[in-house]
Every structure is written in C-alpha cells, then in structure tokens.
Structure 1
Amino acid sequence: MPDEPTHGRDAAAWSPLDSDGWYAARDATTALRDVLVRAGLEKDFPYLRADVNAFGHGLVDLGRVPPATAERLAELLRLALASGYRRDGNDGSHGSSIAEEHEGRA
C-alpha cells in the first residue's frame, strides 16, 4: 500500500531469506533428502528443493517422479506405518518423529 512504511527498504528488495517460511522449507527439504539418501532414492528426486510462494509460505517441491519411484515411496511409507510410526504423539505411542530425528542430528 502506498502509505505503508518500508523502513528504508523498497518492497521489490524482498528476499526469501527474510521469510521464516523459507527456513522451514529448507529444513524440511534437508530432512527429506537425508531420508531419501538412506533409502537409496536420492537420485529419483532430482528436482527436490525448498521454495517459497509469493506470500512467504515455505513449500517443498518434490518434482515429478516416475511411477516406480512413487510406488517405492508408497511402500516405504506403508512399512513405516506398519512398524508403529505415528506422525503425532497424541496417541500415547513412542513412535519417532522425523522432526525430532532431524533436530537430534543438528
């Protein structure tokens, strides 16, 4: 808006590095990449990258993958669910969290 203060900066000078969303997307991309490497799928996701939309919301772009890769990823997720992995800890289980695992390596 014309009356909004720019604090000495032009709005056109905005950078994704000024966004918390960018860092969240980068961290999530790194965590996913690490898991894909351990699963031997890193080469199947050549377009994996962190991104940010026009509103500063972080996004993880997985890119396009062949059907065989999608099937392999689905099987890995099925195995994780079958082994007791839960996304949230609200059900009383002690399943690991990818975010906790990633933070533990930092």
Structure 2
Amino acid sequence: MKHTAQVLRLTGSGPTRHKAFADAMGQVQRAAGARTTGVCFRVEPVGLEVVEAVERRWTERFLGLLFARTRQRFELTLKIEVRVASLDLDALDFTVREERLTPVQHALHMR
C-alpha cells in the first residue's frame, strides 16, 4: 500500500452553485486515479481552495423580442489537495492453485 499527496485543479459548472460544486467534486476520484499508478482505493480530501468563482448571466427572448427571461450559469475552479492510498497489483505475488476435476465432476460443471 502506498500513500501519495496530490494537488488537483478541477473546474465544475452548472445552473446552480450547488451543482457547479458537485460537478467539480465529482471529478476528484477520476482525476486522482488517473495520476496514480496501481489501483486507487481511497481518496481523502485534505484541503480545498476556491481559485475562481464566476456567475454568468444573460437574457433570452422568444423570437428575439418576446418573453424575456434572465438565465444564469455558475463556473467554479477549485484547487483540491488530496491524499491517495493505492495498491500496485503488478508487484503482488499470486500463488497458483490448480484443481483437477474427475470426468464426472467436469461433466457436471459444464453448461
């Protein structure tokens, strides 16, 4: 088992602040696993810093002049420090246990 520390910079966006944050946090496991050798089985956030938080607003109109409504979209860029626990399966030594079935057992296990 190996522990490593990583700093990830992730961006999330969504129609609300909560969904933008959830989008960014949903990328943590995948981003940490991509940078880790072996199988990543625990990702523990240690620190979080907001790098940039942007709210974009615009006005939409039906047919260019009717039914005006204001739309908004939130974008959040986070700097997340994580501690990753991983296991390198290639370095493990597996013991081989071979079974020999009798012809009757073999016929019963066939489908």
For normalisation by structure 2, the TM-score amounts to 0.24
Relative contact order (alpha carbons < 8 A, sep ≥ 6): 1 or 2 greater? 2
Report which of the two has the higher share of strand.
2
Find the structure with the greater CA-based Rg. Answer: 2
Report which of the two has the higher share of helix.
1
